[in-house]
Amino acid sequence: MLSLPIYMDHHATTPVDPRVVAAMLPFFTDTFGNPSSRQHTFGWAARDAVAAARRQVADLIGADPREIHFTSGATESDNLAVRGVATAEPRRQLHVVTMTTEHHAVLDPCRRLEREGVEVGYVKPRRDGICNVADIERALRPGTRLVSVMTANNEIGVLQPIAEIAALTRPRGVLLHTDAAQAVGKVPIDVGALGVDLLSLTAHKMCGPKGIGALYVRRCRPRLAIAPLFDGGGHEQGLRSGTLNVPGIVGLGAAAAICRDELAPEARRVGALRNRLLDGLRARLDGVTVNGSPEARLPHNLNVSFDGLEGESLLVGLDDVAVSSGAACTSVNPEPSHVLRAIGVPDQLARASLRFGLGRTTTEAEVDYVIEKVSSLVTRLRELSPAAGAR
Ligand SMILES: *Cc1c(COP(=O)(O)O)cnc(C)c1O
């Protein structure tokens, strides 16, 4: 049975898996202790649960549990990585390299660093959204301390060649951070194989709860220098003070364990549904362009532009399908996304773009409904469009 509205915006957030909710519930009421309470069983039980979750998260990304630091999500992890590394060893002429297509959780801390005198190089992607590794190499300087490039883009789903970038940064002693919020749990991630020093992840993009995430920090000697964002009780090895969000951490751990168990078959299932969606749209419409590389891409992402449309009317017509458009619809004149602009999509086409994010609950019936809904809407809008006569 098809139930409306249909949620196809899993890059924004995901529903919490009922198995995750079940794992979390006891930690609100029965096992409510503070893991920092070292003198009684309430504290010990919470501490053990946190340790188990830390291992579950570490196992999903091939890390050691001691390398996992819990935060409030990927925004905090990104800020901690970028700002923490850049401010840990105040030096003049500090230099950071990132990309123009990063999430604002990386771009905005970089902008703030620039106001404080740090120099930041912004590398542009190719037209398929992927970076030219040679461009990253050209952006490096003797004073470069950190490179931050996301594993998977949240709008167009493209996967960046992180291991190739690590092959440039590692021998030069430059730290490599990756925002893997969209990739973890969806495609295999192994921090060792990627060669990254820091990695951000968040629970609510992988069927876990909101407000909990982690920063992986590679263990090395001497310890990687990172300044915490705030001071306090020195939790999480001094990197993130504040009483641990035990139910959230347990939820993140459970979500990670489920993703690990189900990753390969689920990626195949969702990837086939995504291909069915694209094929269905193309069978009914011409002028459908996929934004971003079709190959190096998350299995659950589809970002397409429709020729011959005024974009604003697209989302209005999709009243029972939750997707995102290629423009911020908060303003009267929507600003096209910085990612679509960076890969050279003209503003008009960016406004006529949709991002589909499939997920664990997505069914074939939902995909078929969305194909019909979107293709009939686009056909109708094209007939109404003032440009229709010219087509
Ligand atoms: C969702 C997302 C974030 C922000 O994560 P929160 O946990 O919501 O703070 C950061 N980066 C990327 C790529 C994302 O998709």
Q: Residue 44 falls within a domain, yes or no?
A: yes
Q: Tell me which amino acid residue 215 is.
A: L
198 and 276 co-located in one domain: no
- Extract the tokens encoding 49: 């649960």
- Domain range for residue 272? 6-12+263-386
- Domain final position from 225, 240, 258: 258
Angle between helices 246-284 and 41-61 (to 10 degrees): 30
How many domains does the chain fold into?
A: 2
Probe residue for ligand 1, chosen from 14, 70, 75 as the CB with the greatest number of ligand atoms within 8 Å: 75
C-beta 202 within 6 A of ligand 1:
yes
Residue 389 to residues 133, 144, 145, Cα–Cα distance (Å): 44, 54, 55
What does the alpha-carbon distance between residue 327 and residue 365 come to, in Å, rounded to a whole number?
28
Per the CB < 8 A criterion, the answer to whether 325 and 353 are in contact is yes
State the distance from the centre of ligand 1 to the C-alpha of 181, rounded, in angstroms.
6
What does the alpha-carbon distance between residue 134 and residue 161 come to, in Å, rounded to a whole number?
11
- Domain final position from 231, 258, 285: 258
224 and 363 co-located in one domain: no
210 and 297 co-located in one domain: no
63 and 204 co-located in one domain: yes
C-beta 103 within 6 A of ligand 1:
yes
170 and 225 co-located in one domain: yes
Q: Residue 356 falls within a domain, yes or no?
A: yes
218 and 278 co-located in one domain: no
Does residue 189 sit in helix, strand or coil?
coil
DSSP assignment string, 191-254: HHHHT-SEEEEEGGGTTS-TT-EEEEE---SSPP----SS-SS-TGGGTS-S---HHHHHHHHH
181 and 90 co-located in one domain: yes
Please give the angle made by the CA atoms of 104, 106 and 112, to the nearest 5 degrees.
90
Write the pLDDT tens digit of every residue in 116-169. 999 999 999 999 999 999 999 999 999 999 999 999 999 999 999 999 999 999
State the distance from the centre of ligand 1 to the C-alpha of 106, rounded, in angstroms.
10
Specify the CATH number for the domain of residue 205: 3.40.640.10
Write the pLDDT tens digit of every residue in 272-283. 999 999 999 999
Per the CB < 8 A criterion, the answer to whether 149 and 72 are in contact is no
- Domain final position from 205, 229, 258: 258
CA 156, distance to chain mean position in Å, is: 11
Specify the CATH number for the domain of residue 323: 3.90.1150.10
Per the CB < 8 A criterion, the answer to whether 345 and 291 are in contact is yes
Does residue 18 sit in helix, strand or coil?
helix
C-beta 366 within 6 A of ligand 1:
no
Instruction: Encode the chain (391 residues) as per-residue pLDDT tens digits.
Output: 799 999 999 999 999 999 999 999 999 999 999 999 999 999 999 999 999 999 999 999 999 999 999 999 999 999 999 999 999 987 667 999 999 999 999 999 999 999 999 999 999 999 999 999 999 999 999 999 999 999 999 999 999 999 999 999 999 999 999 999 999 999 999 999 999 999 999 999 999 999 999 999 999 988 899 999 999 999 999 999 999 999 999 999 999 999 999 999 999 999 999 999 999 999 999 999 999 999 999 999 999 999 998 766 788 889 999 999 887 655 556 688 999 999 999 999 999 999 999 999 999 999 999 999 999 999 999 998 766 544 4
DSSP state of 36: T
267 and 224 co-located in one domain: no
Does the active-site annotation cover 329? yes
State the distance from the centre of ligand 1 to the C-alpha of 17, rounded, in angstroms.
19
Q: From 66, 59, 69, 218, select the one nearest 146 (Cα to Cα).
A: 218
